[in-house]
Amino acid sequence: MKLELRGITKRFGSLVANDHIDLVVEPGEIHCLLGENGAGKSTLMNVLYGLYQAEEGDILLDDSVQHFEGPGDAMRAGIGMVHQHFMLIPVFTVAENVMLGHEETKAGGRLNLDAARARVREISARFGFDVDPDALVGDLPVGIQQRVEIIKALSRDASVLVFDEPTAVLTPQETDELMTIMRQLKSEGTSIVFITHKLREVREVADRITVVRLGKIVGEASPTASNSELAALMVGRNVELTVHKEPARPGAASLVVEHLDVIDANGIKVVNDVSFEVHEGEILAIAGVQGNGQTELTEAILGIQPRTNGSISLNGTRLNGQSVKKVLNAGVGFVPEDRTHDGLVGEFTIAENLMLDRSDQQPFVKGGTLQLKALNDFAEEKKREFDIRAESITTHAGRLSGGNQQKVVLARELSRELKLFVASQPTRGIDVGSIEFVHKRMVETRDAGVPVIVVSTELDEVVALADRIAVMYRGSIVGIVPGDTPRDVLGLMMAGETGVAA
Amino acid sequence: MSDNNQQNTPAPGAAPEPAAASASASAPASASAPASSPAPQPAAAPAPKPDTEAPRSNKILNEILGGSFLISILAVLLALIAGAILIAATNEDVQTASGYFFSRPGDTLGAIWQAVSGAYSALFQGSVYNFRRDSFADGIKPLTETLTFATPLIAAGLGVGLAFRVGLFNIGGRGQMLIAAACAGWVGFSFQLPAPLHITLAVLAGIAGGAIWGGLVGFLKARTGAHEVILTIMLNYVAFYLISYMLRTPGLLQAPGSPNPKSPPMAETAVFPALFGSKYNLHLGFILVIVATALVWYLLNRSSLGFRFRAVGENPNAAKVAGIDVKNTYVYAMLFSGGLVGLAGVSQVLGTVTGGFSGGIDAGIGFDAITVALLGRSKPIGIFFAGILFGAFKAGGFSMQAAEGVPVDIVVVVQSLIVLFIAAPPLVRAIFFLPKPGGRARRVLPNVSKEVAAK
């Protein structure tokens, strides 16, 4: 089916998220929508899927104008969507999830599960998915869950499939498999819209590439374009994609983690017997697919995880079992994975956020009273130094862009005297320009002799920054390898293959 | 694209009742997706945090407290309009005149005007200045009455508002006031001391009583994770029946030789002196409340403890990661909150009802305080004036009834409507066709991904 968007405009208040966007997706084509976070790609797809109503513009399917009041209409018209965060019910089986929303019933209102099972088997066989219709979705690995999403869309005879950042949660191998599936779908005549900000994937599968920036279409590119050409289109200027760094000059082992277990609130061991050390002046990257214990590991170092076994010590001082306050005072800088959730108080000003972890210390507090002058001077200085783009230091942190929010967090954490710097997903959801800046600061921190831990699910980032790489899988460290380890080896390790590390 | 949405993760567990209404009213504002769609709730986050007990209620609080001054004014206006309709509808002259509306519509309209304007002018004259009196000294008496009524409302409102700012719903104003009143009252009637010392001791005892009763809640919440709404509500009953028992037991709080559940009168030396002579009821408590307002302002805006209070109130997760001891902060917050509510109880026994108190000494102020705190947007200055407005309703309500025969219940209806409109800003916005709050739109600006995640 041919999909055409004509002059789609969507506003949120004064923000124009989509500005007269025209897009044509031919039948049997993989059309990539490439753009940075916040460029308006997902908004556009939500308009297409009927979740948002566009202020202007038309959606055409095979040249007839469509009016979608909601996702139900879009689905009936043959549009399917595979969401980044799966819309599946974990306690339902695959078949139940697939039939959800258009359940067939037998006499007396009983669900016709057999029909759903047959449907799952049929689609699954057609594409070689290997999905058991009676498996509980919650028990399936993410890659398979994604296939359930695809089956769900296909079972409603979708002839236009939208994939919204589908690879964010996948291992490199699962990503490759997904690419194969996309090609297969394409050969069956399905039109595919593939939303991503990862250049490598785009070049691999796309037939055509449309680049979106700040809500507008800024250009088309062919899959043969180079990474830096695509990046320049995305960002609107030339960007440095590689991080310049000298070889590390590691000093003494500073952070020593031995046989660390972390047990979560449900009593599950989310970090299992992890041991490693980080030396002064080196960056240890912790790679792995989201949700393999990296978050809990960093939280254990900071002291927010209540139940840990084993030991974490920094320069001989034991950290675990200490309060967060003591850990911070021992010289640990921490950039949390989710800055809006754990890193910033959105309703606080930039200045207030900059003193968040020193709310009882000089120079910001004397005799229990805030020293507003000292705080403002400090904030002005950091705003300049870290190039935080905001009207003033009294702007609320919640109103900053992701990149500027991250700069506030970095400014706060790097302005204390550090003995260890832990950054979790430091560039997630921020613009390419800010990524450059963040990476530069992290290398500088390393060069100042501070041990640095970077947790990242993006292989590009891991490879760019790491002096050594620890790969985590299901709560354990699969292996610790040098920073120049080839990607395919890392990919296999991320999938849990231990043999390759050696 | 939508990685940073965890703050919107719906926390399990029921939201406290007063907030639930506004939550459901305001939630759909984020995206207008039909119910059948996959919920436009931003993204099931990959790893839901187990320790997000507060964020949802915090979000609701932000929603309520984030409303503008304009919304407060409009809410009062709307409530007065609704009140006018009720006054007209319950007025007998209007009812009679409306019986022959179609033959002489002017009569009905005239009667409505009579009823409404009469009622509201009685409200004004009963609460601010009475023009029917000859001298200024007599004419101004209603205003002093208003301030007298406002005194405990402001104190308790400050307490409840302070807790709001830390993300806590202190519904336990009644219990805290009762305990405070009992403590202050006991010191007030049991000892013979020189006046300044006696007053000081009694006040301190009352504040300490309230602080302990409130702090207990903070302590239990911090140690066990029990929800403060349950704790404060149940402790209201505990306090009420405990005090009732003590008031009925000779040797404890009951006045000697009296069969009634009532305490002895306060000693002369413990009673708050009247500020403008014995002609007016306004007493020292009002000065204490002004001081308390200033102190709370300093605490919240200028002290490091207040900084931590606000940080925990806005985002307990970030506060925790920044090394702030969230649990201790809850304890401190409830101590302060209880102490301020305690001041309301003190002002009742030592200022307003000095002839001995009974189990009803709290006069519902502990609950009205929630309204006052909401109307004042939990800001000390706002609470101060909200308290005075409510004091005016109380003072004027009686004269409305006396002068115009308006049932005092109608006054309470107006008050309740104000709360309703205040606590549901989207409702007021919808009525006046106001745009969605700036905060929301502006918050979208940087993080398109947030909107975008609602797929």
Put simply, the answer to whether B449 touches A295 (Cβ < 8 Å) is no
B428 touching A, CB under 8 A?
no
What average pLDDT score do residues B333-342 get? 97
Q: Is residue A243 part of a domain?
A: no
Alpha helices, DSSP H only, in A77-217?
94-99, 113-127, 142-155, 172-187, 199-205
pLDDT at B56: 56
Structural domains of chain B ordered from first start: 65-126+407-433 (no CATH), 136-405 (1.10.3470)
Q: What's the gap in Å between the CA of B432 and the closest CA on chain A?
A: 18
Range of the domain at A350: 345-410
- pLDDT (tens digit per residue) in B107-116: 888 888 888 8
DSSP for A264-325, please give it: -TTS-EEEEEEEEEEETT-EEEEE--TTSSHHHHHHHHHT--S-EEEEEEETTEE-TTS-HH
Interface test with A, best of B295, B447, B450 (most A CBs within 10 A): B447
Q: Which two tokens stand for residue B186?
A: 């006991």
Handedness of CA B419, B421, B422, B423 (dihedral sign): positive
Chain B, residues 26-45, CB within 8 A of chain A, namely: 31-34, 36-38, 40, 43-45
CB contact at 8 A, B423 and A132: no
Q: Would you tell me which residues 310-369 of chain A have a C-beta closer than 8 angstroms to some C-beta of chain B? A: 323-325, 327-329, 334, 336, 338-348, 352, 355-357, 359-360, 364-365, 368-369
DSSP structure class, residue B67: S
Q: Which of A51, A323, A338 sits opposite B31 (nearest CB)?
A: A51
Probe site for chain B from A340, A412, A427 (most B CB atoms < 10 A):
A340
Which positions in chain B touch A295 (Cβ < 8 Å)? 47
The pLDDT value given to residue B266: 92
A244 within some domain: no
CATH of the domain at A90: 3.40.50.300
Q: Choose the closest CB to A295 out of B36, B47, B305.
A: B47
Q: Looking at chain B, which residue has its C-alpha nearest residue A197?
A: B1
CB contact under 8 A, A341 and B3: no
In B, minimum Cα distance to A142 occurs at: B46
Looking at the fold, whether A163 and A223 belong to one and the same domain comes out as: yes
Query: CB–CB of A71 and B37 under 8 A?
Result: yes
Shared domain for A203 and A104, answered yes or no, is yes
Which is higher by pLDDT, B352 or B441? B352
CA nearest to B37 within chain A: A71
Which residue among B5, B317, B446 sits closest to A400, beta carbon to beta carbon?
Answer: B446
Mean of pLDDT values over B328-346: 97
**Whether A402 and B324 lie within 8 Å, measured CB to CB:** no
Q: Are the C-beta atoms of B403 and B116 separated by less than 8 Å?
A: no
Considering only CB atoms, which chain B residues are within 8 Å of A341? Answer: 4, 6-7, 49, 315, 317-318
- Provide the residue-wise pLDDT of chain A in tens; the chain has 502 residues: 888 999 999 887 777 888 899 999 988 899 998 887 777 887 888 888 888 888 888 899 888 888 888 888 888 888 988 887 788 898 999 999 988 877 777 777 788 888 889 989 988 888 888 888 999 988 888 788 888 988 888 888 888 999 988 887 777 788 888 898 899 889 888 899 998 877 778 888 899 999 888 888 888 888 888 877 888 888 777 766 677 888 888 889 999 999 999 998 888 899 999 999 999 999 999 998 888 899 999 999 999 998 899 999 999 999 988 899 999 999 999 999 888 889 999 999 999 999 999 988 888 999 889 999 999 999 999 999 998 888 889 999 988 878 889 999 999 999 999 999 999 999 887 777 788 889 999 999 999 999 999 999 888 889 889 999 999 998 999 999 999 888 888 888 888 877 654 4
- pLDDT value for B207: 97
Question: Could you say which DSSP state residue A138 is in?
Answer: G
Q: pLDDT value at position A499?
A: 62
Q: Looking at the structure, tell me whether residues A301 and A271 fall in a common domain.
A: yes
Whether residue A324 sits in one domain with residue A382: no
Which two structure tokens, joined as six digits, stand for A44?
Answer: 């556009």
Given CB atoms, is B46 within the 8 Å cutoff of chain A? yes
Residues A275 and A423 grouped into a single domain: yes
Mean pLDDT of B252-258: 87
Query: Would the CB atoms of B33 and A53 count as touching at under 8 Å?
Result: no
Q: Are B264 and B256 in contact (CB under 8 A)?
A: yes
* Token representation of residue A27: 């039948």
- pLDDT tens digits along B204-244: 999 999 999 999 999 999 999 999 999 999 999 999 999 99
- B10: phi then psi, degrees, rounded to nearest 5: -65, 120
Q: Which residues of A touch B441 (CB under 8 A)?
A: 12-15
pLDDT tens-digit profile of B368-422?
Answer: 999 899 888 899 999 999 999 889 988 888 888 887 778 878 778 877 787 787 7
Contacts of B328 in chain A (CB under 8 A): none
Does residue A298 share a domain with residue A320? yes
Q: Who's near A160: CB < 8 A, 6+ residues apart?
A: A1, A3, A25, A61, A78, A79, A80, A190, A191, A192, A193
Q: Which residue from B36, B46, B47 is facing A70, i.e. has the nearest CB?
A: B36
Question: Which of 36-65 (A) contact B at CB < 8 A?
Answer: 37-43, 45-46, 49-53
Q: Does residue B405 belong to the interface with chain A, where contact is any CB pair within 8 Å?
A: no
Chains A and B: how many Cβ contacts under 8 Å? Answer: 217
Contact criterion met (CB < 8 Å) for B46 and A291: yes
- The DSSP-derived string for A362-381 is TTTEETTEE-HHHHHHHHHH
Q: Which of A14, A34, A48, A51 to mutate to test the interface with B (most CBs of B within 10 A)?
A: A51
**Under the phi-then-psi rule, with left for phi > 0, alpha for psi from -120 to 50, and beta for the rest, what region is B32?**
beta
Q: Determine the distance in angstroms separating the CA of B320 from the nearest CA of chain A, rounded to an integer.
A: 7
| pLDDT score for A492 | 87
> Considering the domain boundaries, does residue A38 fall inside one?
yes
Determine, yes or no, domain membership for A240.
Answer: no
A336: in domain:
no
Structure tokens at B40: 């436009």
Say whether residue B328 is in contact with chain A using an 8 A CB cutoff.
no
How far apart CA B153 and CA B381 sit, in angstroms, is: 13
Interface residue of B32, B36, B37, B444 to substitute, partner A, most A CBs within 10 Å: B37
Cβ contacts (< 8 Å) between A369 and chain B: which residues?
302-304
Q: How far is B21 from chain A (nearest CA, A)?
A: 23
Q: Which two tokens stand for residue A235?
A: 């960002």
Q: Are residues A205 and A314 in the same domain?
A: no
pTM value surpassing 0.80 = no
B5-31 mean pLDDT: 38
Same domain, A153 and A175: yes
* Alpha-helical regions (H) of B191-283: 195-224, 228-248
- Hey, are the CB atoms on A71 and B444 less than 8 Å from each other? no
pLDDT, greater one: B362 or B37: B362
When CB atoms are compared, the residue of B6, B325, B441 closest to A323 is B325
pLDDT in tens, B125-156: 888 898 888 888 888 899 999 999 999 999 99
Question: Domain tally for chain A?
Answer: 3
* Any domain includes A337: no
Looking at residue B67, what is its pLDDT? Answer: 58
Residue A323 lies in a domain: yes
Q: Could you give the C-alpha distances from A376 to A372, B299, B300, in angstroms and in order?
A: 6, 19, 18
Which of B37, B47, B320 has its CB closest to that of A70?
Answer: B37
Residues A214 and A261 in one domain: no
**What is the spatial distance between Cα B31 and Cα A46, in angstroms, rounded to a whole number?**
11
Residue finishing a domain among A169, A204, A235: A235
Q: Which of A410, A432, A461 is the last residue of a domain?
A: A410
Question: Which among A42, A290, A340 has CB closest to B455?
Answer: A42
Q: Final residue of a domain: which of A188, A207, A235?
A: A235
Same domain, residue pair A322 and A349? no
pLDDT at B38 over 60: no
Is A395 inside any structural domain? Answer: yes
Helix crossing, B365-375 with B173-190: angle to 10°? 120
Whether residues A27 and A128 fall in one domain: yes
Separation of alpha carbons B100 and B107, rounded Å: 9
| Nearest chain B alpha carbon to A404 | B446
Q: A359 and B308 in contact by Cβ < 8 A?
A: yes
- Are B307 and A370 inside 8 Å of each other by CB? yes
CA–CA min distance A125, chain B (Å): 27
Q: What is the pLDDT of residue B96?
A: 85
Query: What pLDDT does residue B35 have?
Result: 38
A292 CB near a chain B CB, below 8 Å?
Answer: no
Distance CA A400, CA A492 (A): 38
pLDDT, one tens digit per residue, over B48-73 is 333 334 455 565 666 555 556 777 78
Shared domain for A207 and A93, answered yes or no, is: yes
Chain B window 220-279: which residues touch A at a Cβ cutoff of 8 Å? none
Tell me the CB-side half-sphere exposure of residue A489, using CA atoms within 13 A.
16
